[in-house]
Amino acid sequence: MMKLEGALYPWRFRLVLVLLALMTGAIVWRIVDLQVIDHDFLQGQGDARSVRHIPIPAHRGLITDRNGEPLAVSTPVTTLWANGKELQAGRSQWPALAAALGQESKTFAQRLEQNAKREFMYLVRGLTPEQGQAVLDLKVPGVYAIEEFRRFYPAGEVTAHVVGFTDIDDHGREGVELAFDDWLGGVPGKRQVLKDRRGRLIKDVQVAQNAKAGKALALSIDLRLQYLAHRELRNALTEFGAKAGSLVMLDVQTGEVLAMVNHPTYNPNNRRNLQPAMMRNRAMIDVFEPGSTVKPFTISAALQTGRWKPTDKVDVYPGTLQIGKYTIRDVSKNEGVLDLTGILIKSSNVGVSKIAFDIGAESVYSLMQQVGLGQDTGLGFPGERVGNLPNHRIWPKAETATLAYGYGLSVTAIQLAHAYATLANDGRSLPLTMTRADSRGAAGAQAIPEDVAITVQGMLQQVVEAPGGVFRAKVPAYHVAGKSGTARKATVGSKGYTQNAYRSLFAGFAPVNNPRIAMVVVIDEPSTGAYYGGLISAPVFGKVMAGALRLMNIAPDNLPPVVAPVAPQAVAQTPGKGGRT
């Protein structure tokens, strides 16, 4: 008689029972652990499959001018997106959806077919809330909305180059919007929601993190002055058939940029047909040889050495100066001798070259460097160029002469304006700023000795007001100082200059008795025949300066003397004969 196998090996049976008991105990323990002790695990796993965080867009900071006028504001818009898989269930509604979105039905259907397997695709961005709600009211399955913000620029093309613009994701891409993107952008928030396995919203749970709005930014720009400069520069370009132009206006006493305009310009609210050349902030990006506008700084360098006095004279006859194969020529036919003021009035290349030969190019170079020519302005503006102020270990005569009258170096309009603001501020160089400054008389580095700067201010006043001066830059009731310049345009990609291509310049400040505004006008390639800075740029300077001085309520310093009226002498008459007593 055979025995059962279990009876033969009882330990095996017990082992199986023990293993089953252990496994059962482990399962029971795990159930208790997950359900009672460590219940956060299951909750986390469930949340991972259903809880989502939707970004809450941050409101971008407001940009205003110095007086609080808005230059860039954010408006709420609706962005529509779709789940391509869910959209396939509502094919019959595609034509209505395309019509509501303003898109061609066949092209729209092809796009949806191409994205049938995608769970996310943009339908359209930047709709007004009313337009977005109209589409949502169609109740097309798979169509959802996101709240976003879109930037709007009230001043349009007038401030385009300064303010810049943002991209479709509301990130700064040009101008102040890019330079101060971190300041303006803010921090997006998060909203916790529940979604089912198809991605459909079930419940809006809570705000997990509040959005932090961007900070407001007040620029130093005065929108009134910006409009004025924009209008006059545009009119000048039209009148003289010019290719482009720039105007920069600075507050002498604070270093603030009051106005900065360029033409051609563009509308940042509608960039569909935008050309890259229109986006260039020429006042900060275009470099050029400043020509005669730097002669006042050569004269300043001469006075600073102590070797020269304003009354010293230079023989400029016959208006030419030969240096090897190079001939320096004066535009005006000067005969005899000129003092330092006369050299500036007549804009004598020969006279200023002889002065530079006497004091050495190092003195001229050092002063130009001190006033900021060919140097970084510190504004931090995107794409700003530094230009070039050449320096030689040994200065040849030709390079010394060209430096003295504004060739062989390259500057920007903002640098030239900064140099004139330094001269107008009694030689003190203040750091430039694009944001509003609350204090005047800020400390600055003394770039030019005060007595020298004041002397040259008087000389530049004579350049405008003396007989034969640049009378087109005059401003009624104000004393104005300045210097015109005309520079040939260098050939791109090769040595030499382009035939019949010039830049017309005028740089100056006012009022002379207490300078407040420094300004530079650059007009590129006027084509109507005239091209001298005194004929083309000086009138723009005069018109804009006149308006700016009045808008800023700056007291005149050149009013005619008031003649006190003479009181009529009373005549006594005898009573009774028709007279009065």
Q: Point out the residues that are catalytic.
A: 292
In a 3-state reduction of DSSP, which class is residue 226? helix
Residues 6+ apart with CB under 8 A from 429: 370, 371, 372, 418, 422, 444, 445, 446, 447
Closest by CA position to 534, among listed 452, 477, 464: 464
From CA 253, how far away is CA 248, in angstroms rounded? Answer: 15
DSSP strand E in 95-214: where?
A: 121-127, 143-152, 189-195, 201-209
CA distances from 334 to 351, 360, 406 (A): 10, 24, 20
Q: Cβ(479)–Cβ(557) under 8 Å? A: yes
How many distinct helices (H) and strands (E) make up the chain? 20, 19
Closest by CA position to 161, among listed 151, 180, 176: 176
Task: Give 52's strand partners.
Answer: 193
Write phi, then psi, for 69 (nearest 5 degrees): -75, 130
Q: Cβ(118)–Cβ(86) under 8 Å? A: no
Closest by CA position to 132, among listed 165, 167, 87, 102: 102
Q: Cβ(115)–Cβ(121) under 8 Å? A: yes
What are the tokens at 417? 């304006």
Residue 51: half-sphere exposure toward Cβ, Cα within 13 Å: 13
Q: Cβ(565)–Cβ(495) under 8 Å? A: no
From CA 460, how far away is CA 529, in angstroms rounded? Answer: 27
From CA 382, how far away is CA 366, in angstroms rounded? Answer: 28
